[in-house]
């Protein structure tokens, strides 16, 4: 099965930039989507199709995907960005959807 690997945690100071990686074999050939989940809440889509932002998501959130790593970048981090972040792809070889293991972003 297709595996997506994320770092368990990322810490960042307010106003700085947080970078969350999502590793997978040749992930650059897939379309990657990112979700934000705050404690006790349902996940919310923040990036789709590698780098597109849904309406209502600040432009501080951006995405990039190439070769074996996709990246979610949060610029000018705010306290409200503290959450778990998950990447997701469609694994066509197995006809399954796959989530990454999740990254907890802590704002210092």
* Minimal distance, residue 6 CB to another protein, in Å: 9
Residue 105 Cβ vs another protein, minimum distance, rounded to whole Å: 14
CB of 51 within 8 A of CB of 62? Answer: yes
**64 part of the interface to another protein, by CB under 8 A:** no
Options 16, 54, 66, 67; binder of another protein; rule CB under 8 A: 54
- Pick out residues in 65-94 that bind another protein (CB under 8 A): 84, 86, 88, 90, 92
Question: Does the footprint of another protein cover residue 27 (CB under 8 A)?
Answer: no
* Interacting residues of 88 by C-beta distance below 8 A, sequence separation 6+: 4, 32, 33, 34, 35, 97, 98, 99, 100
Place of tokens 């501080």: 60
């Amino acid at each position: 099965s297709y595996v997506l690997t994320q770092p368990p945690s990322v810490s960042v100071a307010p106003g700085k930039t947080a970078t969350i990686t999502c590793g997978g074999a040749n992930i650059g050939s897939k379309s990657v989507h990112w979700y934000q989940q705050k404690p006790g809440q349902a996940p919310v889509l923040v990036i789709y199709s590698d780098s597109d932002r849904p309406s209502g998501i600040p432009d501080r959130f951006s995405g990039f995907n190439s070769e074996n790593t996709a990246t979610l970048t949060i610029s000018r981090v705010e306290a409200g960005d503290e959450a778990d972040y998950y990447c997701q792809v469609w694994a066509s070889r197995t006809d399954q959807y796959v989530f990454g293991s999740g990254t907890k972003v802590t704002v210092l």
